[in-house]
């Protein structure tokens, strides 16, 4: 779909499938350089085919604004991005953003509401370790720094102390996200007008040192009310910094990794659901190896254990899969099979994004294991989303059973005992009673 707004041509790109867009050669090259989609020429001059889209958002290219709309409903996406695992009594009306036309505007509106709610009683305060040079002793005298800076000279003194201040990491992260949105081009005027005064609240807060993906402070009782704002801020910073790192000019691109949002949301809900029932849920386990030499690395999204032993493994797939799509892609099934064999569990689960589709079970005769594909509906209100994922989590562990789960995996879930590959004969011995 194409339109023109204030002299800027607006084109929409589908996240799924292929789109055909009129581009100059220069625009096509710049779009390809952003590395979030594949751009290829067609038989028609000036018309380019765009496929394999991995991010959603907005890209500005010389008088052209490309809007990549997510297949996930915007209000569901915002809730998933803000979910902390500890939210309760979430009002569905809080996530009503039908008036916004694109993802940056929607996320900006959501962040404004979340920050206003978090700072309604003032900015968060906390203790921050401060190092300074002074003539009056305050806190602890740092002898090591003193000797390094001024050996043999007693004054001034190198000091270290804890200061109770608003200049904490939580406020720095929120401020950085607000500033990133202010710099973003073509946000609706009403959103920009709200961002300015809100950013003024953080005038005395230091700037965040940007680099790799922002790491959020550990959630505590004191910063729990900041969690939705912090998570939205984290995704906004990721979307703006990633595009800039890939060559987009500052403010011209906002590209969000929705697959990661989906993965983090599912993992957080499973943790909140299964931990009270005695299970441990580890996300993005990075030290599994398929081969005995440890050369083939694996990174399952979700590993569920109980009593120190793995009972279930799952991988999120931000792909639409339903009745009309046939079986899951072979590569996904192969990946699931590798996880099942390596973890010595009888089955592994693939969690797709889709509508009302019953789970399908694929029995692998050679190994005696099974790959189960699930379709998770991400439409509806926050309570519905949480209920669906929580129900799925209980189904994952119920399919094993407590007695079987304690004997299903012969290795500890601790990182020092991660499995390597085992022959098929050994896999059969593990699975047979």
Whole-number Å distance between alpha carbons of 332 and 341 = 14
Could you tell me if residue 340 is left (phi over 0), alpha (psi between -120 and 50 degrees) or otherwise beta? alpha
**Model's pTM, two decimal places?**
0.79
**140-187 per-position pLDDT tens digit:** 777 788 777 788 777 787 878 778 899 999 999 999 999 999 988 778
Q: What backbone torsions phi and psi does residue 302 show, to the nearest 5 degrees?
A: -135, 125
pLDDT at 282: 93
Q: Which two tokens stand for residue 325?
A: 């799509």
Distance, CA of 133 to CA of 300 (rounded, Å): 48
Instruction: Give the tokens for residue 360.
Output: 């399908």
Find out whether 179 and 143 touch, Cβ atoms under 8 Å.
no
CA distance 95 to 246: 31
- β-sheet bridge partners, residue 339: none
Q: Note whether 158 and 138 are within 8 A (CB).
A: no
pLDDT score for 403: 43
Bridge partners (DSSP) listed for residue 208 = none
Say what the pLDDT of residue 406 is: 42
Confidence (pLDDT) at 328: 85
For 28, 76, 107, 234, the CA distances from 316, given in Å and listed in that order, are 31, 17, 23, 20
- State how far the Cα of 287 lies from the Cα of 413, in Å rounded to an integer: 11
Residues with Cβ within 8 Å of residue 120, at least 6 apart in sequence: none
Edge-to-edge strand list for the sheet holding 19-22:
19-22, 47-51, 38-41
CA–centroid distance for 120 within its chain: 27
**End-to-end C-alpha distance for the chain, whole angstroms:** 59
222 vs 405: CA distance, rounded Å = 37
Dist. CA 83–CA 185, nearest whole Å: 27
Low-confidence stretches of the chain (pLDDT < 70) are: 1-7, 84-101, 134, 139, 210-212, 242-251, 322-325, 355-356, 400-433
The secondary structure element, H or E, covering residue 29 is helix 25-33
């Amino acid at each position: 779909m194409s339109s023109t707004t204030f002299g800027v041509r607006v084109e929409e790109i589908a996240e799924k499938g292929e789109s055909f867009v009129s581009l100059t050669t220069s625009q096509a090259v710049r779009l390809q350089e952003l590395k979030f989609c594949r751009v290829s020429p067609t038989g028609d001059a000036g018309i380019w085919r765009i496929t394999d889209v991995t991010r959603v958002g907005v890209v500005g290219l010389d008088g052209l604004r490309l809007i990549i709309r997510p297949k996930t409903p915007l209000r569901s996406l915002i809730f998933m991005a803000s979910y902390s695992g500890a939210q309760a009594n979430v009002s569905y009306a809080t996530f009503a953003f039908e008036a916004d036309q694109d993802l940056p505007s929607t996320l900006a509106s959501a962040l404004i509401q979340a920050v206003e709610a978090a700072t309604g009683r003032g900015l968060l305060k906390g203790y921050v370790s401060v190092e300074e040079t002074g003539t009056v002793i305050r806190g602890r005298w740092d002898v090591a720094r003193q000797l390094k800076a001024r050996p043999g000279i007693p004054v001034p003194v190198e000091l270290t102390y804890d200061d109770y201040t608003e200049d904490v990491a939580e406020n720095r992260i929120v401020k950085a996200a607000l500033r990133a949105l202010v710099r973003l081009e073509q946000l609706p005027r009403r959103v920009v007008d709200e961002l300015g005064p809100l950013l003024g609240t953080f005038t005395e807060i230091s700037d965040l040192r940007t680099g790799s993906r922002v790491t959020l402070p550990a959630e505590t009782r004191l910063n729990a009310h900041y969690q939705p704002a912090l998570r939205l801020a984290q995704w906004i910073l990721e979307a703006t910094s990633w595009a800039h790192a890939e060559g987009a000019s500052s403010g011209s691109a906002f590209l969000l990794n929705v697959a990661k949002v989906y993965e983090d949301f599912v993992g957080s809900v499973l943790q909140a659901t299964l931990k009270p029932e005695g299970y441990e849920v580890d996300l993005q386990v990075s030290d599994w190896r398929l081969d005995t030499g440890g050369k083939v690395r694996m990174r399952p999204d979700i590993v569920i254990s109980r009593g120190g032993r793995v009972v279930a493994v799952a991988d999120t797939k931000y792909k639409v899969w339903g009745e009309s799509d046939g079986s899951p892609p072979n590569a996904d099934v192969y990946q699931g099979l590798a996880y099942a064999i390596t973890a010595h569990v009888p089955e592994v689960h693939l969690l797709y994004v889709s509508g009302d589709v019953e789970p399908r079970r694929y029995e692998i005769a050679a190994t005696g294991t099974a790959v189960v594909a699930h379709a998770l509906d991400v439409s509806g209100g926050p309570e519905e989303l949480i209920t669906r994922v929580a129900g799925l989590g209980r189904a994952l562990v119920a399919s094993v059973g407590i007695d079987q789960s304690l004997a299903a995996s012969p290795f500890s879930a601790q990182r020092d005992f991660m499995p390597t590959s085992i022959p098929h004969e050994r896999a059969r011995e593990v699975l047979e009673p």
